[in-house]
Amino acid sequence: MRPTIRRLARPATALGTLAIVLSGLFFVGRSPDPRLADPAADAARSEALRRAGSAAAAALERLYVALEAALADGRAGTAATVSGDADPAPALLHAAAGIDASRVPAIAAVEALDRLSGLLRAGGVVLQPLDVSPGQLATIAGQFRGAASPAELAAIRAWKADLVTLPLWIATAGRLLTALRAGSAALIAGDAGALAKARLEFAAAAVEARRADLALGIAIAEGGSSIADPALRGLAEALGEVQRSGDAVASVMRGVGER
């Protein structure tokens, strides 16, 4: 499982606590009394836990890869609706097909995680179930298909953009260029005071530029992306849920591997 490499921008939730709990277990279900310990049974339980953890990690990885590819297609389709450079329907429909295909891996991931959870419960450890269902994925796929319908795309093409934020963006870009030119001139002339002033002006303009750029981006995208926003949001949330489960399983397996 490689979710820690392709990590989404979301904080870990309760994983540190889980790792601490696991580190307090020598083997799941092992008696703390050495007189009652059964090394053979302990080894068998540990091996079963490792197999279940590996299977859950692999199943979650397959689901993650499938959903990640569908999200890329969905974003490409949304970008095409905004730019108008290409027909967005193929990418949106491809996203829907990818989500449909991910329903089987989703079932497998839920089942694999349930098996791992059953073994962990014997040691008093609760692993949160995967909150991604085939029905949820079917709904998201349907939303992408709806966004690709001729009626929706015709409405987007008829959208009349009123970019009231464009003048602000142009003015802010002008301030950045002016400060940059002033700074260059001051540097060449060796005027430390003018250079410091230009730096301050550039920093202030940069703050405004970030706001202006965001406002313009929202204005441009509001017509094109709105049709696919629910699907993109739902798919991103599902991907984040798979990420969370993958992190939890990785934490479990690290705890087991340290024993």
Q: Is pTM beyond 0.85 here?
A: no
Please answer whether residues 56 and 109 qualify as being in contact, where contact means their C-beta atoms are separated by less than 8 angstroms: yes
The one-character DSSP state at 72 is: H
- If you count them, how many residues does the chain have? 259
Q: Is the pLDDT of residue 44 over 50?
A: yes
The tokens for 72 are 């890329």
Mean pLDDT of 72-90: 83
**102-139 pLDDT, tens per residue?**
999 999 999 999 999 999 888 788 889 999 999 999 99
The tokens for 39 are 């090394």
Within 8 A by CB and 6+ apart from 124, the residues are none
Torsion of CA 240, 245, 250, 255, to 10 degrees: 140
**208-237 pLDDT, tens per residue?**
776 766 665 545 544 555 567 788 889 999
Q: What share of the chain is helix, strand, coil (3-state, %, to 5)?
A: 75, 0, 25
